[in-house]
Structure 1
Amino acid sequence: MSEPYVKDGDPSGTTLAYDVTVPEGRLFLLGGHRANSNDSRFSLDTQSGGVAATTVRARAPDDHTGLLLLVLTALSGVLGALGGLVMEIVRSSAGSGGG
C-alpha cells in the first residue's frame, strides 16, 4: 500500500515485524510518524491492537478542501469589513468637506 504521507517515507517505522488479523468491527490504527507513534502496534496483545470502530470520533480528510473553504470564508469576511470601513471613511470625509 502506498503511504506518501508517512514521515521520512518509512512506513514501517520499526525493524520489529508483526503479523495481525484485525477482528470484525475493529480498526488497526497507525501513526503518520511511525518511528514515534504509540499506535496499535504497541498493543498487539489486546484485541490484536485494534480499537472498536464505534469509538472513532473523526477521520482525517483526504484533501484540504474544508480548510481551504474556511480560509476563503474568513478572507472574504475580512475583505468585506475593510470595504465597509473604507466606504465609511469616504462617506465621513465627503460629509464634512465644505460646510
Structure 2
Amino acid sequence: MKPPPARVTSLAQDLLRLTGQQSRIRRTEGGGYRLTIVKPTGLDSHRTLAVLRALLTADRFGDSNRSVWAELDLVPGAPDQKSGPVGGGGGQPGRQPR
C-alpha cells in the first residue's frame, strides 16, 4: 500500500507534536484522506490555537463529542462529493463543514 502524501503526514505529525496523539488515517470514498484524533483536553490557549492553525491546512475539519477530524483531498480545494455527511461542527471560515 502506498504511503499517504506529504501533506497528510505533515498534518498528522503536527497533531502528534501538539496533542501527543497519533492520528488515525483512513482513505475517504473519493480518494482523499481523513485524520481523526480523540478530542484533546487540558490544552492551554496557545496550544489550542496551534492545533486550530494546523487544522486550517486541511480542506475541511470539525469535531464530534469525542473526536476532532480533518479531511484532505488529493487535489486541494476539490471537495469529495462521494462522502456522506459527518457529525460535529467546526470547519474553516467560508467553507461548508460536511
Q: TM-score, normalised by structure 2?
A: 0.20
Q: As a proportion of its length, which structure holds more strand? A: 2
Q: As a proportion of its length, which structure holds more helix? A: 1
